[in-house]
């Protein structure tokens, strides 16, 4: 009888505990994967992922990382987002957190690693893997140090002795960039620092080793009732991220500039203008869809192009319209990249403004070089040979040249039949001819003298 009562009591206790466990609220944990190069696409995924985590009531963000690095500009943007996040951000390093990946990992509140994973080697290199000059390394050293410092210090009391130490030693973060940095007992001079999982735990750069995020949640965080919500990027997100790449944006600016220039050099409307319009759409569309490019920013870009065209074809010389047009074009391209609210730039970091300006100017310089290169190549050998007309228009084929009787007008006097800006028309002995004024703007009715005749064109000066 007594045993039966004991069994009934134990059963009641277990049932009560089980019901209480079932009654515990499910804790939402949001997971974002960074499994590729750190680029504009990764930055876009982080932005959207953090927004989605806030909207669905998640209490923690877990970044699942396996990357060899990428562009510092986007890594720094992701780092800043993590440091400013109101939700705790943890990272699970599933093999690699190298270079830009190490910077992002150090920014997280806690780091967990798979056995055999690595973190470090954050030296700044170019596309060919060559180390960049020290001014780039200096900036990276400072970013790594400040990121480690952002986690503050711990106060440790051991047998009455009080010790204050960094939660993440800044010198260790710097040693991941500069081989000259010495951390006693950790790394000697001449070696770029990279930690294994066990070394990271030993030096407080890892809170624990596990084989998966669920294992971290259950065994390290002691959470039993949870739900992992994963960010799933759409196809459009991936396309938009690719189009917002700094390299591609520079190329698009180059094509816009080159297309407009070559369209102005050719009669009618053709391929160059189509190329420029397509490049402009690809440049502005993802920025507009992402809420960066406002209608007025695109409008000032278009107004700038109109002013430049007026300066070239209507207004004589080069003055206010041309300078204003170029300024508006650059402003439209730059402002479209910034997260400003109309004319309020208070929340836009200075670094973002300088990066956007450098990207646009770099693209325009590349466009000018592209124009020079293509101007020299068109008509030469190779694929460029097809872009120029090479057929000889001979008399044997029935072609006749322009009459040379007009050449007899050289040194003769005529009258401006229209305003010359500097192109226009002049009248000579009752006949009207196209002409270009060497004096620039010339009013209608002004006496002029024909100075020379070249390429079927009269060149005149005020008499």
Do 304 and 231 lie in one domain? The reply is no
- How many C-beta atoms surround the C-beta of residue 192 within 10 A? 16
Asked whether residue 109 is domain-assigned, the answer is yes
Contact 136, 176 (CB under 8 A): no
Is pLDDT at 29 greater than 70 in this prediction?
yes
Asked whether residue 75 is domain-assigned, the answer is yes
Do 345 and 272 lie in one domain? The reply is yes
Q: What is the pLDDT of residue 281?
A: 85
Do 363 and 429 lie in one domain? The reply is no
Pairwise pLDDT comparison (164 vs 5), residue with the higher score: 164
Do 256 and 229 lie in one domain? The reply is no
Do 62 and 148 lie in one domain? The reply is yes
Binning pLDDT at 50, 70 and 90, where does residue 338 land? confident
* Sequence-separated (6 or more) residues with CB below 8 Å from residue 262: 272, 371, 374
Do 289 and 410 lie in one domain? The reply is no
Q: What is the pLDDT of residue 115?
A: 94
**Of 357, 387, 417, the domain-final residue:** 387
Do 33 and 131 lie in one domain? The reply is yes
Q: What is the pLDDT of residue 247?
A: 77
Is pLDDT at 10 greater than 60 in this prediction?
no
Do 41 and 127 lie in one domain? The reply is yes
Mean pLDDT of 265-292: 76
Number of domains in the chain: 3
Is pLDDT at 194 greater than 50 in this prediction?
yes
**Of 354, 370, 387, the domain-final residue:** 387
Is pLDDT at 25 greater than 90 in this prediction?
no
Asked whether residue 379 is domain-assigned, the answer is yes
Asked whether residue 159 is domain-assigned, the answer is yes
Is pLDDT at 102 greater than 90 in this prediction?
yes
91: CATH? 3.90.226.10
Asked whether residue 272 is domain-assigned, the answer is yes
Asked whether residue 333 is domain-assigned, the answer is yes
Give dist(CA 30, CA 62) in Å, integer. 6
Q: What is the pLDDT of residue 357?
A: 82
Q: Which domain holds residue 456?
A: 395-462
- 368-423, pLDDT tens digit by residue? 787 777 766 655 555 445 555 555 555 566 555 555 667 777 888 889 998 887 88
Give dist(CA 235, CA 281) in Å, integer. 19
**Of 235, 263, 295, the domain-final residue:** 235
Mean pLDDT of 168-174: 94
Binning pLDDT at 50, 70 and 90, where does residue 347 land? low
Asked whether residue 14 is domain-assigned, the answer is no
414: CATH? 2.40.50.140
Do 288 and 356 lie in one domain? The reply is yes
Binning pLDDT at 50, 70 and 90, where does residue 113 land? very high
Tokens for 348, please give them: 């836009």
Do 273 and 225 lie in one domain? The reply is no
- 197-210, pLDDT tens digit by residue? 999 999 999 999 99
Do 454 and 349 lie in one domain? The reply is no
Q: What is the pLDDT of residue 151?
A: 93
Q: What is the pLDDT of residue 21?
A: 46
Asked whether residue 148 is domain-assigned, the answer is yes
Do 299 and 439 lie in one domain? The reply is no
């Amino acid at each position: 009888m007594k045993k039966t009562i004991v069994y009934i009591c134990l059963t009641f206790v277990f049932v009560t505990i089980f019901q209480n466990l079932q009654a515990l609220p499910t804790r939402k944990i949001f997971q974002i994967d960074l499994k590729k190069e750190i680029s504009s696409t990764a930055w876009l995924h982080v932005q959207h992922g953090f927004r989605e985590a806030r909207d669905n009531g998640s209490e923690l963000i877990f970044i699942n990382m396996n990357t060899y690095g990428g562009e510092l500009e986007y890594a720094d943007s992701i780092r800043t987002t993590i440091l400013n996040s109101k939700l705790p951000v943890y990272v699970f390093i599933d093999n690699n957190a190298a270079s830009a990946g190490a910077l992002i990992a150090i920014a997280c509140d806690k780091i967990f690693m798979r056995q055999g994973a690595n973190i470090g080697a954050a030296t700044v290199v170019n596309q060919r893997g060559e180390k960049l000059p020290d001014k780039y390394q200096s900036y990276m050293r400072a970013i790594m140090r400040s990121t480690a410092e952002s986690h503050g210090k711990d106060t440790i009391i051991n047998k009455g002795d009080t010790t204050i130490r960094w939660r993440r030693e800044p010198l260790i973060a710097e040693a991941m960039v500069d081989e000259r940095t010495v951390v006693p007992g950790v790394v000697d001079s001449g070696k770029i620092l990279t930690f294994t999982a066990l070394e990271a735990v030993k030096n407080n750069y890892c809170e624990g080793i596990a084989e998966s995020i669920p294992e971290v949640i259950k065994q390290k965080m002691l959470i039993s009732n949870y739900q992992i919500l994963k960010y799933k990027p759409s196809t459009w997100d991936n396309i938009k991220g690719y189009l917002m790449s700094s390299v591609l944006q520079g190329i698009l600016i180059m094509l816009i500039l080159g297309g407009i220039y070559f369209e102005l050099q050719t009669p009618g409307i053709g391929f160059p203008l189509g190329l420029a319009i397509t490049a402009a759409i690809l440049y502005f569309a993802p920025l507009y869809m992402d809420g960066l490019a406002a209608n007025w920013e695109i409008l000032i870009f278009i107004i700038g192009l109109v002013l430049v065209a007026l300066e070239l074809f209507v207004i004589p010389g080069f003055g206010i319209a041309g300078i204003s047009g170029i300024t508006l074009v650059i402003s439209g391209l730059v402002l479209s990249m910034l997260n400003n609210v109309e004319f309020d730039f208070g929340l836009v970091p200075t670094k973002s403004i300088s990066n956007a300006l450098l990207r646009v100017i770099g693209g325009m310089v590349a466009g000018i070089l592209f124009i020079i290169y293509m101007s020299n190549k068109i008509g030469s050998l190779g694929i460029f040979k097809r872009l120029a007309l090479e057929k000889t228009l001979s008399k044997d084929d029935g072609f006749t040249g322009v009459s040379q009787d007009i050449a007899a007008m050289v040194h003769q006097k005529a009258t401006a039949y229209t305003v010359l800006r500097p192109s226009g028309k002049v009248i000579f002995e009752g006949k009207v001819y196209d002409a270009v004024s060497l004096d620039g703007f010339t009013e209608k009715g002004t006496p002029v003298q024909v100075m020379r005749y070249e390429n079927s064109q009269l060149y005149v000066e005020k008499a």
